[in-house]
Structure 1
Amino acid sequence: MKKNVSLEEAQQLLLAQAAPAGERQIFLAEAAGSVLSRDVVAPLNLPPFDRSPLDGYALRAADVRQASAAQPVALRVVEEVRAGFVASQAVGAGCAVKIMTGAPLPDRADVVVPFENVACRGDLVCITEPLASGSNIIYAGEDVAAGDLAAEAGTLVTPPLVGLLAALGMETVPVYGKCRVALFSTGDELLEPPQALQPGKIYNSNLHSLRAYCRMVGAETVTLGTAVDEETVIAARLGETLLQADLVMTTGGVSVGDYDLLPAALRKVGAKILFHGLDMKPGSPAMGAVCRGKPILALSGNPAAALIAFELLGAPLLKQMLGWKNVLPQRVGAILDDDFAKTSRQRRFVRVRLEAQGMQLHAKLAGSQSNGALQSMAVSNALLDVPAGSGPLKAGQSVEAVLTGPLA
């Protein structure tokens, strides 16, 4: 067992225990939130034919090469074609076809003139300026060409990707299987809402936050409530979770106090402890283990410490098990807008809210940086990564941040 490891080493130790779930084929309507298990190669051109992007007239550029306001060129409108239909004939010399947005371009037409740029007289349309061949045309395969890579394996299926795959005529898609996470907390002090709050007790927020995090990443969850601070009870709960899930996540009982019994309980069920302790704050008591081929991540009982460690360790682990291609959190540069007075003898992650101001990101402190503070977690969307040995941070200096949510 390794002790007090760096964040990066802890990430690698855990990720080495995680492999994506098996492949399954699901209907496109159910695919959002899943991850592609194979590359998707476009089976057809998108769009499948040359088409008009606007309402106008399809014609030959050669016929209007000499057109001007002083000497308009009059063309005979021979038919109309709307979206979903095709022209019955090619466009001949001196002719035009009235065309609607999305309709296929008639044969021999190589330009579309917008309605608002022409004058009509009966079945004639007058063009007052020349247009280059290819103007106002969307060509077949302009978006995606047949045989092109449309989406890579490891890509999260988002609503726009669902639309792209539907446009390519796909009814089902290959995705990685679901990952089930079992969650429980330890601690005699914990109550579940809506139980009446009693002296010395607190509500168990961690279980609810972590379940929400897991679901947002795309995992299924099963929660097994709270285990009291007794080694045999915690060991029994671990045994239950290992039977029900692919990944076990716990909060509480991982420090070095008399009632921090999770390490002993892990050994009792035969788990191999990969590391105990992170060289960072908050979240330093975290543990990683593996038992029966299943990863176990044990987090601090302090809410902010637990959630920050989840962002940095739990989310990458889950994403790898779900098949994501990029699992580590994104890092960005920013300008700090506030002073942060504390020195950081140990590597520290500071809750901030990032906002874009022009082309530059600015970081504002999100509030209390206490291990137990939840409101600052709720309003933050990033964590400043402050290196060990740093003095107080000053407003205006450049900083590096780990994204944990969408930019404001």
Structure 2
Amino acid sequence: MKTGISLEEAQTLLLDLVEPAKECLVPLTRAVGRVLSQDIWSDINLPPFDKSPLDGYALQANDTIEVSSSHPVILDVIEEVRAGYTSLKQVTSGTAIKVLTGAPIPNGADVVIKFEDVNRKGNKLELFYPLKSGSNIICAGEDVGQGEIVAKKGTLLNPPLVGLLAAVGVDLVPLFSKLKIGIISTGDELIDPSDDLRSGKIYNSNFYSLSAYCSKLGAEAVSMGIVPDEKDAIVERISKALEDTDLVITTGGVSVGDYDIVPTALDHIGAETIFWKIDMKPGSPAIAAKYKNKLVIGLSGNPAAAFITFDLIVGPIIKRMMGFFQELPPRITATLADDFNKSSGQRRFLRGRLDNINGINYAKLTGKQSNGVLKSMVDCNILIDVPAGSGPLIVGQEVLAVVIDNY
């Protein structure tokens, strides 16, 4: 077992132990928020035919070469075509076909003119200015060409991508299987928000936040309930979670107090402890163990410490298991917009808000930075990475930050 390791070593150790989940085919209607397990190629052009983007008339540009407001050209309207239908006739010199938005361009036509730019009397059409061939035509394959890759393996399906897949005729999508993540809250002091608050008790906020984090990543959070600070109870609950879920997260009970029992419980189960304690603040008492190819990650019971460790360690594990392109959060440089008056003997992560003003990244602290403070996480989208041995930070100082964006 390693102890007091760096964040980067903890990330590497855990990411090396996990692989993407199995593949499955899922109906497109249930695919949003999931990750592609294969590249998707288009079998068709999109659009599949040349079409009109507006209501107008399809004709030949050559008929308008010498047209002017004083010398209009007169064409015969020989047919009307709306979306979903094709023309029965062909445009020839001196003729035009009325087309409605989305209608295929009739054979022989190479330009479309808007309704409002012509005069029509009966089947006669007057045009008053020359047209350029190809104007107001959406060409076949303009959006996606046949044989073009539409989305790559590891891509998260968002609503526009779901629509694009539907547009090229995909109805079943190859995805990585959805993860089940068991969340166990330990502590005699915890009660559910649905209960009346009693003396000495606090509401279990960690489960709800971590569950939301998992859901935003596309995983299914499974509540394994609140467990008292008793070894046998924790052993039973972790064992149950390992049976029923793909990854187990615990909160609380990972420090060195008399009632911090999670490390002992993991030993009792027979799990191999990978590391205990990370050299960072907050979140240093985190523990990671492996049992029969499944991971158990124990996080601090303090809300901010738990969430920051989730962002930096658990989130990347989930992303790798779900097949994401990029597991680790990106890093940026920014200009500090606030003073931070404490020295940092240990590597520290500060909750901040990234704003880009006139092309410059500014990092603004979001509030109090103590381990148990939850409110400063609400507007937090970066974690300012303060190296060990740093003195107080001052406005205008350049800092490094991890972009978390609250998923």
TM-score (norm 1): 0.94
- What is the 5 A alignment of 1:364-403? 364-403=364-403
**Residue 267, structure 1, aligned to residue 298, structure 2:** no
2:107 — aligned with what? Answer: 107
Cα offset, 1:61, TM superposition: 1.5
| 2:378 alignment partner, SS class | helix
| 1:184 alignment partner, SS class | strand
Contact 2:339 2:394 in 1 (8 A): yes
| 1:165 alignment partner, SS class | helix
Letter of the 2:230 partner, please give it. Answer: E
| 1:372 alignment partner, SS class | coil
**Residue 31, structure 1, aligned to residue 20, structure 2:** no
1:137 — aligned with what? Answer: 137
2:170 — aligned with what? Answer: 170
Cα offset, 1:252, TM superposition: 0.9
| 1:315 alignment partner, SS class | helix
Letter of the 2:316 partner, please give it. Answer: P
- What is the 5 A alignment of 1:173-322? 173-322=173-322
Cα offset, 1:218, TM superposition: 1.2
1:59 — aligned with what? Answer: 59
Identify the range of structure 1 (154-163 vs 225-234) with the bigger mean alpha-carbon deviation.
Answer: 225-234
1:78 — aligned with what? Answer: 78
Cα offset, 1:142, TM superposition: 1.0
Contact 2:380 2:406 in 1 (8 A): no
Identify the range of structure 1 (107-116 vs 309-318) with the bigger mean alpha-carbon deviation.
Answer: 107-116
Alignment CA distance shift 1:136-1:266 (3 Å): same
Q: Which runs of 5+ in 2 are unaligned?
A: none
Letter of the 2:21 partner, please give it. Answer: A
Cα offset, 1:347, TM superposition: 2.3
1:88 — aligned with what? Answer: 88
Cα offset, 1:70, TM superposition: 3.2
| 2:289 alignment partner, SS class | strand
Q: CA RMSD in A?
A: 1.9
**Residue 161, structure 1, aligned to residue 155, structure 2:** no
CA distance in 2, matches of 1:328, 1:231: 34
| 1:379 alignment partner, SS class | coil
| 1:112 alignment partner, SS class | strand
Aligned length: 407
Deviations 1:209-245 (A, max 9, x none): 1112112211122212222222232222211111111
Alignment CA distance shift 1:120-1:343 (3 Å): farther
| 1:79 alignment partner, SS class | strand
Letter of the 2:323 partner, please give it. Answer: G
1:342 — aligned with what? Answer: 342
CA distance in 1, matches of 2:114, 2:199: 75
Identify the range of structure 1 (265-274 vs 60-69) with the bigger mean alpha-carbon deviation.
Answer: 60-69
1:15 — aligned with what? Answer: 15
Deviations 1:114-162 (A, max 9, x none): 2233233332322222232211211111111111111111111211111
| 1:237 alignment partner, SS class | helix
Deviations 1:360-395 (A, max 9, x none): 443322111110011111222222223333333333
Letter of the 2:396 partner, please give it. Answer: G
Identify the range of structure 1 (65-74 vs 82-91) with the bigger mean alpha-carbon deviation.
Answer: 65-74
CA distance in 1, matches of 2:178, 2:28: 16
2:48 — aligned with what? Answer: 48
CA distance in 1, matches of 2:233, 2:31: 39
| 1:396 alignment partner, SS class | coil
Alignment CA distance shift 1:396-1:125 (3 Å): farther
Contact 2:41 2:147 in 1 (8 A): yes
TM-score (norm 2): 0.94
Cα offset, 1:200, TM superposition: 2.4
Q: Which runs of 5+ in 1 are unaligned?
A: none
Cα offset, 1:356, TM superposition: 4.0
CA distance in 2, matches of 1:36, 1:30: 13
